Structures are given as structure tokens and as C-alpha cells.
Amino acid sequence: MSIKSLLMPAITARLLSRDRLLARRVRAERRRRAHGEPHRLHYFHQVDDPYSALLAQVLPRLLARYDLLLEAHVVPAPADDAAPERAKLVAYSRKDAQLLARHWQLDFTDSGTQPSVDACMQARRQLVAACAAGRFADVAASVSQQLWDPATAPQVQPPLLADLPATDRHIADSQALRRRLGHYLGATLFYAGEWYWGVDRLHHLETRLQQLGAQRDGAGNPMFPPPAELQQPRRAPDAPVIDFYVSLRSPYSAIVTPRVFALAAMTGATVRLRPVLPMVMRGLAVPQSKRMYITQDAAREAFVHNIPFGRLNDPLGRPTERGLALLALAERQGRGQALLLSFMQGVWSEGIDAGSDRGLRRIAERAGLSWDDTCLALDDESWRQDAETNRAAMFALGLWGVPSFQVRNLAVWGQDRLWAVQQALLQPG
């Protein structure tokens, strides 16, 4: 066991603890009050990002509910290292935004194509001018509608346009600010040291603002609360199968694993495990800002869903390879779910080093596997071809990241799309 493996669980447990997060929020609020500053909310908008189009619709409602000073910034698309498989990302974003829009009664329709380069530049110039005039929230939704669905967009007076040099300066400055504050995506909100992505994470921000007493009269529950997950059995018709694309190194996979198994038990569905190698182990770089945000966001989401998380021991490399070999053994013995649960709990909430024999034995025996069988399984590398087969199948669905799910005619990405999986399960086949 390395020094890193020994120290990491204690360090991450502290860095990702709920108490530490709440303490940071308290300190931020004290500084705000001491300097007499408003509740300042930064919003980073990417014109050709469907999630930004959704959030633009929500901003006026958010500002009406809370005492906020909005500072809007128009930003470019994320860099290549933060957006692997960009073509799949772009196409899926449109599809997913349409799914979200229908669920939350917003407006977005996937036309199957991105707006033209010229149309995007026009929208950027309009929104940069709106930022300069302090009117971003007033016009962003209509500009987005004109960009994404011009046939249904209302006719408005010709808007102000920032000139090209001013637009370029604004975007460069906004990109630099986003990078300095520690993020890489559009459709992101930054408030007092903490990031919130899209409508999916808006409930975290609203809860925080309400705790600070920043709500205006009439503000009630969050506009987009976490969708409710089944608490009582409800049998799905036709005994469906959930294909669960999962990575042992994915924090989002870790926090959804017990929930997808619980959903299957509630509905009578079968979970088919489709493990894949982590992106980094497939040669794809992940920038530090992305790693940090994902881990911190996973901790917030784990708290909402009451999933233990945060005392972690990064399973990059050998621990993941050993875990995948062991998962293949467990599947053959009908213990795949038990092993995956044991591994995720061990690595992501107990700080177990799966690269050590001591740690792996604990994970294996808790799942009902013998240590003798485990040792033999570690010499079998047939899991490598299985992982590649699963990756190819996932890519064929238009997906590239984990956790991802396929059930019936639905293919979705993300632990925060389990509600869509649930809906698909309960529909007639």
C-alpha cells in the first residue's frame, strides 16, 4: 500500500465532508455581510448549448424569487479535453434538453442540427450587448428561441448588437473568469464559491439562498426539486431489462449504483451490468477543474440521496483492473450486484485500497466470494474484451460517459436521469 493510498481517504473525507461545505458557506456569507455586498450570482451562458437555452428561460423566475444581483457572461464551448467525443456530446445535449424540457414544462425541441455559425455569432453579439446594458435576463430566452427555433420565435424589434471586437473581448474575459473560478461548462451558475450546473442543480442553489433568507415573498419550494424515486413496489410491465453502463472509477456511478438496484427491485426489472474502462484508462485526459467539480458535485448529490460518499481511495489503474476481473467472476457466480455494491461502497465511502490484497479481499468476501476464487480470477483478463464490447455498445447508443442506461427505447446518461429510467420502466413495453 502506497503512502498516497494511506493518506487519501482521510484527506478526501475532510475535503468532501458536509460539515466543511456548510462551514465554507457560513464564511462566505460572513464576508458578504462584512463588505455590504449583494447576493452576487455569476451566470455563464454558451449560446450553442441546449442546457443554456433551458436555463435562460428560468433566469427571470429565479431573479423574481430571490434577492440576487446577476452578472452574466457569454462563454465559448468547453475545451477538447473537457468535452471528449464532442460530436456525441453535442447531439446528446439536444436530445437530453428536449427530455428535460418536457419533464419540467420548458421549451426546447431537438431539430437534429446545431444552429449555424453565423446565427450563433449573431446571438453572441446580441447577448454581449444585453450584458453591457444589464438586460441579459430580459432577452436571453428570446434570443435563444430565435437561435434554436426561429420558426416559432416571436417577432421583436431588431436588438442591439455589440461590435465584433467588443464581443471577442467579452468572451475572452468571460472564459478567463470561468477558468479562474474553476469551471469549464456553459449553463453554469457560480454563487459564493460554489458551482451549480443547469436546471439539474438549481435546487442546491435555491435551498442555499432560502437558508440565507434571500428569498422574496412568494418563493416556496425549489422550482426543480430532485425527482422522486420509488419508495414502494410498483411492477413494471413485461419484465424489462436495464442495461447499466458503469465505471468503477466514476463517482457518479458510485452514487447511483445502490439506487438503480433498488429501482430494479421495486419494479421487477433486471439489471444487466455493462462495465467499461474509465476514460483516463482509455487514453482520454480529464482536466483538473472537471475532476474537482465532478467529485464535489457527487458529494452534494450523494447527500441528497442519502448515499455514503467521500472517504475515497481513487481506484485508477490496478485497483479498477482487479475490480473488473473480480466483477466478471462475481457475475458468473450470480453475485455481480453484491460485488459492485461492495466495491463502490469500499472505494468511495470507506477508503479501501482495491489495489491491495487486504482491501480486495474485504471487498470480495463481503460480496460472498471466496479469496481462493478471487486470486484465480485476477489472472483471467477476459474482462478486457468485455469492457471494450460494452464501450462499443454504449457508443452505438450515442452515449460515451458513465453512468449510462438503456431500457426499452430510452438511452440516457447520468445519475440524475434515473427518473427517466423509472418512467420508461413503468410504461407499457
Would you tell me the crossing angle of helices 383-396 and 318-332 to the nearest 10 degrees? 90
pLDDT tens, N- to C-terminus, the chain (429 residues): 677 778 999 999 999 999 999 999 999 999 999 999 999 999 999 999 999 999 999 999 999 999 999 999 999 999 988 888 899 999 999 999 999 999 999 999 999 999 999 999 999 999 999 999 999 999 999 999 999 998 876 766 657 899 999 999 999 999 999 999 999 999 999 999 999 999 999 999 999 999 999 999 877 899 999 999 999 999 999 989 999 999 999 999 999 999 999 999 999 999 999 999 998 888 777 888 899 999 999 999 999 999 999 999 999 999 999 999 999 999 999 999 999 999 999 999 999 999 999 999 999 999 999 999 999 999 999 999 999 999 999 999 999 999 999 999 999 999 999 999 999 999 886
Element (H, E) at 73: strand 69-74
Helix ranges, 230-311 (H) = 251-267, 288-304
How far is the C-alpha of 60 from the C-alpha of 81, rounded, in Å?
33
Element (H, E) at 14: helix 3-15
3-state secondary structure of 85: coil
**Is the torsion defined by CA of 39, 40, 44, 45 positive or negative?**
positive
Structural domains of the chain, with CATH: 38-211 (3.40.30.10), 241-426 (3.40.30.10)
Give how far Cα 298 sits from Cα of 45, 109, 230, 381, Å: 23, 29, 21, 31
